[in-house]
Amino acid sequence: MSETGERDPSELTDEEWREGLSKEEYRVLRESGTEAKFSGEYVDHHPDDGEYRCRACGTVLFDAETKYESGCGWPAFYAAEEEAVTTTLDTSHGMRRTEVRCATCDSHLGHVFDDGPEPTGKRFCINSVAMEFDGDA
Ligand SMILES: [Zn+2]
- Residue 102 CA to ligand 1 center (angstroms) comes to 5
Out of 54, 57, 105, 125, pick the active-site residue.
125
Question: For the whole model, what pTM was predicted?
Answer: 0.91
- Residue 13 CA to ligand 1 center (angstroms) comes to 14
The rounded percent of the chain whose pLDDT value lies above 70 is 94
Assign 6 a pLDDT band (cuts: 50, 70, 90). Answer: low
**41-59 pLDDT, tens per residue?**
999 999 999 999 999 999 9
**75-101 pLDDT, tens per residue?**
999 999 999 999 999 998 899 999 999
CATH class of 7-134: mainly beta
Give strand pairing partners of 86.
Answer: 101
